[in-house]
Chains A and B, each alone.
Chain A
Amino acid sequence: MKYILFIVLATFSIRLAAQQKQFSKDDSGKFIYYQVVDSQTVTKDTLLQRAKAFVNVLYKKTMHQESVSDSSVSAKGTTVIDKTILVAGHPSGEVSYQFVCQVRNGKYRFWLTDFTFIPYQRDRYGNFVATTQIGTPLERTPGKLSAGAWKDILNSTYVKIEKLGTEFKKFMATSRVVVPAKKKSETISTKQW
Chain B
Amino acid sequence: MKKILTAIFAMASASCALAQETTTSPLEISGSVDTYFKYDFAKKPNNITTSFASDHNSVSLGMIDIALKKKTGKASFVGELSFGPRGQSQSIPDAAAGGSSFNIQNLYVNYDFTDQFSMTAGYMGTFIGYEVISPVGNFNYSTSYLFTNGPFQNAGIKATYKFSDKVSLMAGVFNDWNLYSATRGVSAVGGQLMVAPVEGWTAYLNVLSGAGAGGYGTIEDLTTSYQITEKFKLGLNAANYDIDNDGGGYAGAALYPQYAVADGVVLGLRGEYFKYKNVGPVQGLKYTAVTFTANIKSGGLTFIPEVRLDHSGDKPFFKESGAAAPNAGQFSLAAVYAF
Interfacial residues, chain A to chain B (CB-CB below 8 A): 45-46, 49-50, 53, 57-58, 61, 83, 85-86, 88-91, 121-128, 132-134, 136, 142-143, 145-146, 148-149, 176-179
Known pairs A126-B125, A178-B15; list 17 more (Cβ under 8 Å). Answer: A49-B13, A53-B14, A61-B21, A88-B28, A89-B28, A89-B29, A90-B30, A90-B69, A122-B67, A142-B263, A143-B262, A145-B265, A146-B298, A148-B298, A178-B12, A179-B15, A179-B16
B137 and A124 contact, CB distance less than 8 A? yes
B269 within 8 A of A: no
Contacts of A88 in B (CB 8 A): 26-29
A121 and B136 contact, CB distance less than 8 A? yes
Task: Across the interface, name the chain B residue whose C-beta is closest to A120.
Answer: B30
Task: Across the interface, name the chain A residue whose C-beta is closest to B226.
Answer: A133
B230 and A134 contact, CB distance less than 8 A? yes
A176 and B12 contact, CB distance less than 8 A? yes
B29 and A134 contact, CB distance less than 8 A? no
- Chain B nearest Cβ from A129, distance in angstroms: 10
B30 and A50 contact, CB distance less than 8 A? no
A177 and B296 contact, CB distance less than 8 A? no
Interface string of B61-80 (1 = CB under 8 A from A): 00000010100000000101
Task: Across the interface, name the chain A residue whose C-beta is closest to B153.
Answer: A124
- Chain A nearest Cβ from B279, distance in angstroms: 30
Chain B residue total in the interface (Cβ 8 A) = 53
Task: Across the interface, name the chain B residue whose C-beta is closest to A135.
Answer: B230
Contacts of B251 in A (CB 8 A): none
Contacts of A177 in B (CB 8 A): 12
Interfacial residues, chain B to chain A (CB-CB below 8 A): 6, 8-21, 26-30, 67, 69, 78, 80, 105-106, 108, 124-127, 132-134, 136-137, 199-200, 227, 229-230, 233, 262-265, 296-300, 338-339
A143 and B263 contact, CB distance less than 8 A? yes
Which secondary structure dominates where chain B touches chain A?
A: mixed
Contacts of A90 in B (CB 8 A): 28-30, 69
Contacts of B127 in A (CB 8 A): 124
Contact of B10 among A49, A86, A133, A179 (CB under 8 A): A49
A149 and B12 contact, CB distance less than 8 A? no
B200 and A126 contact, CB distance less than 8 A? no
Contacts of B78 in A (CB 8 A): 125-127
Q: Assuming A124-B132, A126-B78, A176-B12, is B227 touching A133 (CB within 8 A)?
A: yes
Contacts of A53 in B (CB 8 A): 10, 13-14, 17
Shortest 3 CB-CB distances between A and B: which pairs? A143-B263, A124-B125, A145-B264
Q: Assuming A58-B20, A133-B200, A145-B297, is B8 touching A178 (CB within 8 A)?
A: yes
Count A/B pairs, Cβ under 8 Å.
114
A126 and B12 contact, CB distance less than 8 A? no
B29 and A85 contact, CB distance less than 8 A? yes
Contacts of A46 in B (CB 8 A): 9
Task: Across the interface, name the chain B residue whose C-beta is closest to A136.
Answer: B230
Contacts of B13 in A (CB 8 A): 49-50, 53, 57, 176
- Chain B nearest Cβ from A47, distance in angstroms: 12
Contacts of A146 in B (CB 8 A): 263-264, 297-299
Contacts of B67 in A (CB 8 A): 122, 126
Contact of B264 among A126, A136, A143 (CB under 8 A): A143
Contacts of A136 in B (CB 8 A): 230
Give the CA-CA distance A123 to B136 in the complex, in Å: 9
- Chain A nearest Cβ from B115, distance in angstroms: 9
Q: Assuming A146-B263, A177-B12, is B26 touching A89 (CB within 8 A)?
A: yes
Contacts of A83 in B (CB 8 A): 339
Give the CA-CA distance A124 to B105 in the complex, in Å: 9
- Chain A nearest Cβ from B204, distance in angstroms: 11
B28 and A134 contact, CB distance less than 8 A? no
30 residue pairs A–B, Cβ–Cβ below 8 Å: A45-B6, A50-B13, A53-B10, A57-B17, A88-B26, A90-B29, A121-B136, A124-B134, A124-B137, A125-B78, A126-B67, A126-B69, A126-B78, A126-B80, A127-B69, A127-B78, A128-B30, A132-B233, A136-B230, A143-B263, A145-B264, A145-B297, A146-B264, A146-B298, A146-B299, A149-B300, A176-B13, A179-B15, A179-B16, A179-B19
- Chain B nearest Cβ from A13, distance in angstroms: 27
- Chain B nearest Cβ from A88, distance in angstroms: 4
Contacts of A121 in B (CB 8 A): 136-137, 338
A125 and B125 contact, CB distance less than 8 A? yes
Give the CA-CA distance A124 to B69 in the complex, in Å: 13
Contacts of A143 in B (CB 8 A): 262-264
